[in-house]
């Protein structure tokens, strides 16, 4: 099941099949049927469970979260 949870400065992503790219400004994850892009500042992976497909991503600022074929969430402030 794909699910996103944002709490404080932490984003948990469920249903990750592959980590494509992670840098301080952008992270890209392959999910079962689409690609998820996360943009912001100070992005870094704090936890990765490959067997369960769960990634915890820490951030200073989260500016956008989008799927390849459409926006899930716009700008966060």
Q: What CATH number does the domain located at 3-64 have?
A: 2.60.40.2000
9-25 mean pLDDT: 95
Q: Where along the chain do its domains lie?
A: 3-64
pLDDT tens digit sequence for 20-39: 999 999 999 999 889 999 99
pLDDT tens digit sequence for 33-60: 899 999 999 999 999 999 999 999 999 9
- Torsion over CA of 35, 38, 43 and 46, rounded to 10 degrees? -50
Q: Round to whole Å and give the CA distance between 62 and 66.
A: 12
């Amino acid at each position: 099941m794909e699910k996103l949870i944002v709490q404080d400065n932490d984003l948990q992503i469920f249903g990750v099949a592959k980590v494509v790219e992670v840098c301080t400004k952008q992270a890209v994850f392959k999910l079962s049927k689409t690609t998820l892009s996360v943009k912001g500042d100070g992005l870094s992976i704090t936890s990765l469970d490959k067997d369960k497909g769960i990634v915890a991503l820490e951030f200073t600022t989260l500016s956008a979260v989008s799927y390849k074929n459409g926006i899930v969430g716009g700008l966060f402030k």
